[in-house]
Structure 1
Amino acid sequence: MAQPRLVLIGPPGSGKSSVGRRLAELTGLGWRDTDADVATLSGRSISDIFLDEGEQAFRTLERAAVVAALSEHDGVLSLGGGAVLDPATRDELRSYVDAGGCMVFLDVSLSAAAPRVGFNRSRPLLVGNPRQQWKALMDHRRPLYEELATVTVLTDALSVDEVATSILELEAHQ
């Protein structure tokens, strides 16, 4: 059974996608994103799933995508920012860590996330006052990210290459 070498978690704007792609390049491994998996398998955008069926329906699809990726993918895996919210998904992620997996929390401040996310794009959980929504999401999710992480990297002042290099150095000492 395959297991990802690295799993990236964190809020919107932390760099999970760009850092994941760069880590895949540096390691020669494949990169997979569970949000992309959900969109591909459902044939709809994440925003459309949220609008048409609600967050719980999305979380159910997301959990299935995470479980599949944890058992099928042996490269770098980027999870959606809210994947840690579902208790069953967290159990799967704990099992991955317990089996020796490297769970990387890409931490980021609101001031650094704002220009990255844009706060004007189609993000279903940032509707209304995006800065206030992002802060509320992070206040709720931070303890979950920290609980699951085996490695944490603050991405605020770092380039994608610097974050990827830091992760690989920390992974080697884990």
Structure 2
Amino acid sequence: MSPRAVLIGPPGSGKTTIGVALAALLGVDFRDTDADIVLKTGKPVGDIFVDDGEARFRELERAAVRDALAEHDGVLALGGGAILAPETQELLAGHRVVYLDVSLEEAVKRVGLNSVRPLLVFNPRSQLRKLMAERLPIYQRLAEITAATTGRAEDEVVAEIAAALETVR
């Protein structure tokens, strides 16, 4: 079993929005590893960061990604930082990874400056810029398909990804 598509990208790139719509178009289920973590722990991601620390969250995240890649055959969205773990990078090899590319300005608009996202609590714009710069080479290296989401309609991005999934491999 293998996901039809694995969506990666920074916060605000549209992983959930595009993922849900892509899954509907393909007639498959959508799954989000952050939601899996919340379901397993009974705590919002932000609370896990505060109560248990980022290291514990990343441990849970690695396990959630591993399980989802093995169990899910629909569209899968990973948390923005999931790709930082070498173990996760290795697990993504051979999967149909779609990088959702977004500009900093658009990501800030989508995430908002009063973000509940744990890594963006202090100075969200600056933190998001730093995260995006750090992660960009990894996103690009892992991606089989790249879709720009800045200033584009959801259905346009979804159609582009669906077409690319048909032509790749």
- Please give the TM-score of this superposition, normalised by the length of structure 1: 0.94
After superposition, the C-alpha distances for 1:41-64 in whole angstroms (9 at most, x for unaligned) are: 011110000001111110100010
Within 2, Cα distance between the matches of 1:38 and 1:32?
11
Identity %, equivalent residues: 52
For the pair 1:140 / 2:134, whether they are aligned, the reply is yes
Report the counterpart of residue 130 of structure 1 in structure 2.
124
Secondary structure in 1 matching 2:7: strand
For the pair 1:36 / 2:35, whether they are aligned, the reply is yes
Q: Aligned partner of 2:159: which letter?
A: T
**Cα drift, residue 172 of structure 1:** 1.6
Structure 1 residue runs without a partner (length 5+): none
Q: Aligned partner of 1:7: which letter?
A: V
Report the counterpart of residue 172 of structure 1 in structure 2.
166
Within 2, Cα distance between the matches of 1:12 and 1:162?
20
For the pair 1:107 / 2:94, whether they are aligned, the reply is no
For the pair 1:149 / 2:143, whether they are aligned, the reply is yes
Within 1, Cα distance between the matches of 2:79 and 2:72?
16
Within 2, Cα distance between the matches of 1:77 and 1:113?
20
For the pair 1:71 / 2:70, whether they are aligned, the reply is yes
Secondary structure in 2 matching 1:105: strand
Aligned 8 A contact 2:108 2:128 in 1: no
Within 1, Cα distance between the matches of 2:113 and 2:16?
17
Report the counterpart of residue 8 of structure 1 in structure 2.
7
**Cα drift, residue 109 of structure 1:** 0.5
Report the counterpart of residue 23 of structure 2 in structure 1.
24
**Cα drift, residue 133 of structure 1:** 0.2
Instruction: Note the aligned Cα RMSD (angstroms).
Output: 0.8
Q: Aligned partner of 1:146: which letter?
A: Q
Structure 2 residue runs without a partner (length 5+): none
Aligned 8 A contact 2:5 2:96 in 1: yes
**Cα drift, residue 38 of structure 1:** 0.4
**Cα drift, residue 119 of structure 1:** 2.5
After superposition, the C-alpha distances for 1:17-69 in whole angstroms (9 at most, x for unaligned) are: 00000011101100000000001001111000000111111010001000100
Within 1, Cα distance between the matches of 2:139 and 2:115?
24
Where in structure 1 do 4 or more consecutive aligned residues deviate above 2 Å? Answer: none
